[in-house]
Amino acid sequence: MDGLILPLLLMLVVALPLILSTRKQKRLMAEQQEMQNALSEGDRVMTTSGLYATVADASDDTTIDLEIAEGVVTTWLRQGVRERIVPTTEADEADEVNADEAGDIAEPVETAQDDTTAKATASADDATGAQVAAPLEHGKK
C-alpha cells in the first residue's frame, strides 16, 4: 500500500496543472468566440495581424467585412478578429489628467544633441511651428 502512494501523488502533481490549464484555455476560447459572434456594424476591431478596422457588415456567420480606410472594405474570417477596441471616453481622459497632476508620471529627460542636430531642429521649429525629432543614427559606433 505504501508503495502506491508515491506514484499516485506524482501523477496527481503532473496531471493537476494540465487539467487546470486545459480548462483555462477552453474558457478563453469560448470568450473569444462569444466576442467574435457579438460583433456588429460600427464596432472598432483589431485583427490578429494588428490591423485596426471598423466592422462594415457582420451578417455572415463565417466572414465579416471590415472597413480599413474610408471606402476600402475587405472580407475577413471572423476568427481573424482578435479584439474589440473600446474608444476612450472623456471620463477616462479626465482620470489620466488627474493622474498627471498628482505627479504619478515622471518628467521627460532631455538628451544631449550635437550642434548640427540642434540647429536643424531649431530651424525646423521656427519655419513650420512644428517640432521635429532628431534623426536616428543606427549602426553608428
Residue-level pLDDT, tens digit, the chain, 141 residues: 678 888 888 898 999 999 999 999 999 999 999 999 999 999 999 999 999 999 999 898 899 999 999 999 999 999 999 999 987 775 565 566 555 555 555 555 555 555 555 555 455 455 556 666 666 666 655
Q: What is the pLDDT of residue 24?
A: 94
pTM above 0.85, yes or no: no
Handedness of CA 82, 88, 93, 99 (dihedral sign): negative
> Which pLDDT belongs to residue 133?
67
- Give the number of other CB atoms < 10 A from CB of residue 45: 21
For 56, other C-beta atoms within 10 Å of its C-beta total 16
Domains, in order of start, for the chain:
2-85 (2.30.30)
Contact 44, 56 (CB under 8 A): no
Dihedral angle of Cα 52, 54, 55, 57, to the nearest 10 degrees: -120
How many residues would you count in the chain? 141
